[in-house]
Structure 1
Amino acid sequence: MDNTKKEWLGLPLNLLWGYIAIAVFMTGDGFELAFLSHYITELGFTPAQSSFAFTLYGLAAALSAWVSGVVAEIITPQKTMKIGFILWCVFHVLFLTFGLTQSNYALMLVFYGIRGLAYPLFLYSFIVVIVYNVRSDGVSSALGWFWTVYSIGIGVAGSYIPSLTIPWVGELGTLWLSLVFCGAGGLIAWVALRRVNTPTHMHTLTTSQKLKELSRAVTLLYTNKNVLYSCIVRIVNTLSLFGFAVIMPMMFVDDLGFTTSEWLQVWTVFFATTIFSNVFWGIMGEKIGWMKVVRWFGCIGMALSTLAFYYIPQHFGHNFYMALIPAIALGIFVAAFVPITAMLTTLEPNHKGAAISVYNLSAGLSNFVAPAIAVLLLPYFGTIGVVVAYTALYLIAFLITYFIKVQQPGFETIPANVDEISTT
């Protein structure tokens, strides 16, 4: 494997078109996030029915994300991305044609649920491509760019473009337009990644051996305690991201007098900040050490910015510009967990696909745990109770990092779990 490819600020140029494919594909996949739930209710279905459709979709996506890394190793990332791309396009068309257009709830659930399997196969398989085509001491930076193009696609372009197209072609027309973006992203990846290095060590395995490797996505959690600890830290990583999306609209709009548009702009600034912070912390992880970045800037940074996201608006009231301060801080520090993927693949160098699957599982569990904590605590302790719980979990994650033992490439003489803050 040639690991000497050119790069720019940690971006591997040999994979540039792959990154572009991710951004374009996730733009199309993100179109529906801002309006599909409301559109389903406009068709005559109840909010509960709409929510159940998204719950089913999320469950399918979580399961797919969990196994995507191992599947990509077994059959190659390119084939896995191709399967995800084709699944998405086929079942999106079926979802629109026989589900939404016909207002057939049963078919909506079937086709939307199956489509939920698609995007993780496409998205997370590219992480395997990165791991096998980038020097081990450059994986963190490369993954920082991965999450950056992901944010550009699903978080920026995927939200902004529908605001322009819905007044023009309506919700259904916009959903058809998303097929163009996902189709373009899939085709770019199909062509651009044909000749990149792929893992081949599992191609000769028997079916039973492949199933055993697939099971490692589960067994690594109890056979490698460092993987388990890293998994817990990754779950904590995005608690505020997913949790604040649920609880903060109520505080900002209902309690502090912000308009819905103002709140959405605050949240957009947060997401836009991650575009730059993902790259920054990916590079810094290679410069000062993965664990320093995760421990001090991830765990402690998120603990402080989580508190600030509550207390600064509470102190200054309806002040849009002051509310941007904690939003930017949150966007800066939530990305400081980027090195965890590189840590996991280093902890399991012979089973990188399984390690990536564990990472994907952790991300999915964070999406579930964050609102679950809010649901449990809000009735009894209010918004501040949820904020304190998230803060406490970031501090617990800080302590857990001291139990993770991982040797970072390029830091041969200094373990990656040392706690000094000085630059190496």
Structure 2
Amino acid sequence: MNALTGKERSLFGLPMPLIWGYIATLIFMVGDGLEHGWLSPYLVEQGLTIQQSATLFTAYGAVLAVASYFSGVLTEAWGPRKAMILGLVIWLVGQVLFIKFGLEQHNYAVMLPTYAIRGFGYPLFCYSFLVWVTYRSPQKVLATAIGVFWAAWIAGLYVVGSYFPAYMIPKIGYIGLLWSAVAWVVVGGLIGILVVKGEVGERSTKPKETFKSLISGLTICVENPKVAIGGIVRTINTTGIGALPIFFPLYLNSQYGFTTEEWLQMWGTMWVANIVFDIVIPWISDKWLGWRKTVMWIGSFGCGVMTLVMLYTPQIFGHNFLMLTIAGMLMGAALTGYVPISALVTSLAPDKKGSAMAVVNFGAGLSYFIAPALVGAFIASIGVHGVMWVFAILYFISAILMHFMKLPAEEKREQAGGLAGNLAGSAKG
């Protein structure tokens, strides 16, 4: 089952089941993201070191990376609904154990595995839905459909997930806020499970075929190296931005006096800008600029520049909330340039979209392992400045890698243009 029929289309060529799935993603990610902007500073205040906090997020990221990979292949092997149910259940179990026996008991040994377990949750739920989106969206609006998914994902994780804590922490406290996350995830999870129906291709229940599905994300990287490059680019995409909450608010507070509330407000506003451009940039990419050039220039090069702007803005302007917020908004806009990477990679493997998405999703999850690992490894030796430069350089490397991500049609056009040029040169000679 691929693109939907005309009778099912509703908004921007997208069917209502997808629209409800986007809403479910938003609500689910609110619950998943309520601690994202403040957990690291909170743990440091409770007596942990930055390195211990980074290790916690590294363990979470490692599990998240594995779950992100399996979200693609399990969606093809089991169907999206079963994968989403599994993600919902695991998230709830991990959250309850993390709060009750980890945070409330101030037990780091329990925090580490339980927070990591929770990392299985949202990739299996949200990324399985994203695979469904890639199969069921018309090709001509594929980047737009993926952009709407990321807009919903970001609206939940970073926007509501930032503003809601900023408002509610003084009222119900940090632990109360984490318990409220359970309600958000249950509501979003039930909506998603109810609206996502059908499969994403031919499936087999035979163990041998299921095993083939599980390793298909590995074999496709050998068969089609461009898919592997796309996975690397997707990893870089959220490595830099995913690391910021671990150390940057502490840096802003200690050096320039920014409070946690100011950080959360700036962080949320940055993602509001991202949501706006999550719709605009993919549409421009679909219509004019092209997927590869959008990722190369707006996403990769743009994020490299804006990472440095984020670093040097407080040094130039001091404790200036407005200027830092403007820098954050520009960073949020630049990040949307990466949205077409999913459309590009799946188009490189049209008959194995689930396997291709497994690679892309694995890259997305892997970034949440690499980001805190880099912070933990280098923050003590090269400091905030050095770490920010490392992330900026990674973004610039991403731009270079995109040079090799040409679709077959683009390569044919370039070859035809080169041939025509050679013929014209020969004629003149």
Instruction: Say yes or no: TM over 0.5.
Output: yes
- Please give the alpha-carbon distance, in whole angstroms, between the structure 1 residues aligned to 2:66 and 2:305: 32
Instruction: Write the mapping of 1:143-292 to structure 2, written as runs, cut at 5 A.
Output: 143-194=146-197, 197-202=198-203, 204=204, 206-249=206-249, 251-288=251-288, 289-292=290-293
Match of 1:82 in 2: 85
Instruction: Write the mapping of 1:408-419 to structure 2, written as runs, cut at 5 A.
Output: none
Q: Which amino acid aligns with 1:307?
A: L
The size of the alignment, in residue pairs, is: 411
Moved more, 7-16 or 328-337: 7-16
Moved more, 100-109 or 281-290: 100-109
How has the CA–CA distance of structure 1 residues 103 and 209 changed in structure 2, closer, same or farther, with 3 Å as cutoff? Answer: same
> Do 2:58 and 2:372's aligned partners in 1 also have CA atoms closer than 8 Å?
no
- Please give the alpha-carbon distance, in whole angstroms, between the structure 2 residues aligned to 1:151 and 1:311: 25
The counterpart of 2:127, out of the listed 124, 128, 141, is 124
How has the CA–CA distance of structure 1 residues 335 and 192 changed in structure 2, closer, same or farther, with 3 Å as cutoff? Answer: same
Question: Is 1:28 matched up with 2:31?
Answer: yes
SS of the residue corresponding to residue 74 of structure 2 reads helix
- Please give the alpha-carbon distance, in whole angstroms, between the structure 2 residues aligned to 1:226 and 1:303: 22
> Do 1:11 and 1:145's aligned partners in 2 also have CA atoms closer than 8 Å?
no
Residue ranges of structure 1 left out of the alignment (5+ in a row): 419-424
> Do 1:3 and 1:133's aligned partners in 2 also have CA atoms closer than 8 Å?
no
Deviation at 1:127, TM superposition (A): 0.7
> For each residue in 1:353-379, what CA deviation from the matched residue of structure 2 results, as whole angstroms up to 9, or x when unmatched?
221111122112323334444555555
**TM-score, normalised with respect to structure 1:** 0.85
Moved more, 330-339 or 234-243: 234-243
> Do 1:28 and 1:158's aligned partners in 2 also have CA atoms closer than 8 Å?
yes
Deviation at 1:54, TM superposition (A): 4.2
> Do 2:57 and 2:369's aligned partners in 1 also have CA atoms closer than 8 Å?
no
Deviation at 1:38, TM superposition (A): 6.6
> For each residue in 1:98-132, what CA deviation from the matched residue of structure 2 results, as whole angstroms up to 9, or x when unmatched?
55566666665554443322221111101111012
Instruction: Write the mapping of 1:137-148 to structure 2, written as runs, cut at 5 A.
Output: 137-148=140-151
Match of 1:402 in 2: 403
SS of the residue corresponding to residue 200 of structure 2 reads coil
Deviation at 1:44, TM superposition (A): 8.3
SS of the residue corresponding to residue 269 of structure 2 reads helix
Match of 1:359 in 2: 360
Deviation at 1:216, TM superposition (A): 1.9
Q: Which amino acid aligns with 2:179?
A: W
SS of the residue corresponding to residue 123 of structure 1 reads helix
Moved more, 333-342 or 13-22: 13-22
- Please give the alpha-carbon distance, in whole angstroms, between the structure 2 residues aligned to 1:144 and 1:272: 14
- Please give the alpha-carbon distance, in whole angstroms, between the structure 2 residues aligned to 1:375 and 1:107: 20
CA RMSD of aligned residues (A): 3.2
Q: Which amino acid aligns with 1:254?
A: S
- Please give the alpha-carbon distance, in whole angstroms, between the structure 1 residues aligned to 2:235 and 2:227: 12
> Do 2:72 and 2:127's aligned partners in 1 also have CA atoms closer than 8 Å?
yes
Moved more, 397-406 or 380-389: 380-389
SS of the residue corresponding to residue 33 of structure 1 reads coil
Match of 2:420 in 1: none
Match of 1:63 in 2: 66
Q: Which amino acid aligns with 1:29?
A: D
> Do 1:64 and 1:120's aligned partners in 2 also have CA atoms closer than 8 Å?
yes
How has the CA–CA distance of structure 1 residues 177 and 258 changed in structure 2, closer, same or farther, with 3 Å as cutoff? Answer: closer
Deviation at 1:308, TM superposition (A): 2.2
> Do 2:282 and 2:340's aligned partners in 1 also have CA atoms closer than 8 Å?
yes
Deviation at 1:69, TM superposition (A): 0.6
Question: Is 1:293 matched up with 2:308?
Answer: no
Deviation at 1:336, TM superposition (A): 0.6
- Please give the alpha-carbon distance, in whole angstroms, between the structure 2 residues aligned to 1:165 and 1:394: 35
Q: Which amino acid aligns with 1:341?
A: S
Match of 1:390 in 2: 391
> Do 1:10 and 1:283's aligned partners in 2 also have CA atoms closer than 8 Å?
no
SS of the residue corresponding to residue 238 of structure 1 reads helix
Bigger RCO (CA 8 Å, 6+ sep): 2
> For each residue in 1:191-234, what CA deviation from the matched residue of structure 2 results, as whole angstroms up to 9, or x when unmatched?
2223xx422412x2521222122112223333321112212222
Question: Is 1:337 matched up with 2:338?
Answer: yes
Which is richer in helix? Answer: 2
Deviation at 1:6, TM superposition (A): 2.5
How has the CA–CA distance of structure 1 residues 401 and 175 changed in structure 2, closer, same or farther, with 3 Å as cutoff? Answer: closer
Residue ranges of structure 2 left out of the alignment (5+ in a row): 418-429
- Please give the alpha-carbon distance, in whole angstroms, between the structure 1 residues aligned to 2:62 and 2:200: 28
Deviation at 1:36, TM superposition (A): 5.1
**TM-score, normalised with respect to structure 2:** 0.84
Q: Which amino acid aligns with 1:15?
A: L
